[in-house]
Amino acid sequence: MKLSFSIAIGVDAPVLAALHCAVAEDLTERYGRGPWSWRTTEKGVLLGMRRSRVLVARKGGTIVGTLHLPTKKPWAIDVSYFTPVTKALYLIGMAVLPTMQRQGIGRQLIREAVKQARAWPADAIRLDAFDAEAGAGAFYAKCGFREVGRVVYRKAPLVYFELVL
């Protein structure tokens, strides 16, 4: 599938909020309520844009996927589990439209995130995934991320992954 990638701008916020909400609703429908059921708002997306580089994948002119690459460590990450590096990025908020999943969009987003990280420059990409059926741990492992630990944060079981660049 041919996609184009860009950094999100303010006018993308309503579409990104709707995309994240669609993913949350889909996961809740399939797996029941959980930490993945959190719905975002346009205001939350705009805040994320100020704190991180927000990458979007477009098919034609339509946004079909996104992820955030902040340099600041998210609250649920304990860096003691990860390989010491000079500069790490954190992959958060990855979402692909439910109707477009399993078509390679997520893998292409990851490849583009790696390009962005190398150009930054960064030494690693770190993330956490829910350690539950609704989690994406198996996907990240298939994309080359290595599991480095398991924790429970605020009652949510998480798996830490990293990709050293």
What pLDDT, in 10s, does the model give residues 72-85?
999 889 999 999 99
- Place 154 in a pLDDT band, splitting at 50, 70 and 90: confident
Contact 101, 44 (CB under 8 A): no
Measured between alpha carbons, how far is 143 from 133 in angstroms, rounded to an integer?
18
pLDDT score for 15: 97
Contact 131, 157 (CB under 8 A): yes
Q: Helix 42-51 to helix 13-31 angle, to the nearest 10 degrees?
A: 110
Closest CA to 95 of 16, 14, 5: 16
The residue to which tokens 């704190």 are assigned:
51
pLDDT score for 135: 86
What pLDDT, in 10s, does the model give residues 82-139?
999 999 999 999 999 999 999 999 999 999 999 999 999 999 999 999 998 888 999 9
| All structural domains of the chain | 4-164 (3.40.630.30)
